Amino acid sequence: MTIQKKYDGILFDLDGTLLNTLGIYTHIMNELLKKNNFPTHTSKKYRKFIGNGAQNFIAQCLPQNHRKEETIMQIGKEFHLNYQNNYTTHSEVYTGILELLETLQSTGKPIALLSNKSHELTCKCAEHFFPTIKFKQIIGQSDSYKKPDPKGALAIANTLKLPLDKLVLVGDTEVDIVTAQNADIDSIAVTWGFRDEEELKIVAPKYILSETNQLKNYLL
């Protein structure tokens, strides 16, 4: 597969694309589930739950007959507080990603973050795990922005002052690809995150890549 066009700006998802956070999601959530006498899950299960925002994640973790708004909100608050206190642990940057970001930065090509992790935690993770990277804009989930709503992607396009056909969104879940489609920008799906190729094919991303080296070659 060859990418025929060159992009002038790149929007990156965070969890599952740049940062492997499966460990911290598994660790924190299983502790909370045990505390509340709910059954726990394997990392493989959590891999499927991640990607569509915190509230949806919490709901899927709970037994179906306990998915009441009050329960979701309470466990969600505990999860968020625990994550704030432990966001530097049980997570790692995917191999080759920091080199890719530093190389893109050295070329002057603008890069931005668009995540469904809370905005506060998205900013904290960016600062801790990517201290040498100056993202042109960081947008995490808030009352104003939540993928697959295209508002975040369009806000970044406006900040970068680039036409939509010169932008690409790189992500690892269906939500990322649908967000790009809703914003009328191209998408690159990566398979090292929280979804496999067969799952990603269903939402028809522009491209599907399986290695960080491939992504580097295609974006430079």
In which band, very low, low, confident or very high, does the pLDDT at 165 lie, cut at 50, 70 and 90?
A: very high
Identify the sign of the CA torsion 209, 214, 218, 220: positive
| CA 206 centroid distance within chain | 18
In which band, very low, low, confident or very high, does the pLDDT at 37 lie, cut at 50, 70 and 90?
A: very high
pLDDT tens, 38-88?
A: 999 999 999 999 978 788 899 999 999 999 999 999 999 999 999 999 999
Spatial distance between the Cα atoms of 207 and 201, rounded to a whole number of angstroms: 9
pLDDT tens, 108-130?
A: 999 999 999 999 999 999 999 99
32 in Cβ contact with 75 (< 8 Å): yes
pLDDT of residue 2: 56
Per-residue CA distances from 34 to 26, 37, 71, 90, 144 (Å) = 12, 5, 14, 19, 33
Give all domains of the chain, ordered by start, each with its CATH number. 9-20+92-219 (3.40.50.1000), 22-86 (1.10.150)
In which band, very low, low, confident or very high, does the pLDDT at 173 lie, cut at 50, 70 and 90?
A: very high
